[in-house]
Amino acid sequence: MDRLQALAQELTASGRRALALPCDVTADGDVERAVAAARDAFGRLDVVIANAGFGVVGPVQSLTLDDYRRQLETNVFGVIRTAHASIAELKKTRGRFVIIGSVSGHVGVPGSSAYSMSKFAVRGFAASFRHELRPHGVAVTLISPGFVESEIRRVDNRGVLKETVPDPVPRWLIVPTQVAARAIVRAIARRRREAVITSHGRITVFVERHAPWLIDWVVGRFCVRSRGEPSPRT
């Protein structure tokens, strides 16, 4: 929350209006309170972004049912709670509802079953929700990032950030936050159906759609294995 408050102060100092609010998307009623506060502060809602999420990793046999429940509660039900809380306001403004998915919502690899199933789920939700909101002039945009600079890969299976853990993804594969943010803003402004962020992400999704056997070959040929849950080095 301190980081959000600092960002809000920075935006306010530059002449913008900003409001930082605590909100737990896994708690019934929290999103509704945040939406009401934003509407009261700004008078209307034009864009809502369902962004909260983290990744549970590990082979299926090592994960518990609670691991899967925790993953889906945040990544899937958090999106649904956000939709329920904001849909009436967005209909008034013919606004935009944005869901942050993932390339993992198109392609599954070893050790990503929990995270991938959550992102496959929101991709299906976006497809259906888009048809429901179109008559009301509300756009639904699915954002599917590849490897973007963020802290998500340093968050463990319980959603706890391990600040001292290095990012397991090679730097050359990671797209800077500012670059990804500009691409996301463009997609929202243009009311696009879906935007796959990062060039490697677009290539992966294209191959999965048109030659899924090639993805299987790459996983087998290069012995792709599950990455471990992030933990401090000893």
Instruction: Collect all residues with Cβ–Cβ distance below 8 Å to 196 and sequence separation of at least 6.
Output: 103, 144, 145, 146, 202, 205
CA atoms of 36 and 44, how far apart (whole Å): 10
Does residue 68 carry a catalytic annotation? no
Instruction: Collect all residues with Cβ–Cβ distance below 8 Å to 147 and sequence separation of at least 6.
Output: 169, 173, 174, 175, 198, 200, 201
Residue 80 phi/psi, 5-degree rounding, is -65, -40
Does residue 91 carry a catalytic annotation? no
> Which of 68, 91, 92, 115 is labelled catalytic?
115
> What 3-state DSSP class applies to 33?
helix
Catalytic residues: 115, 119
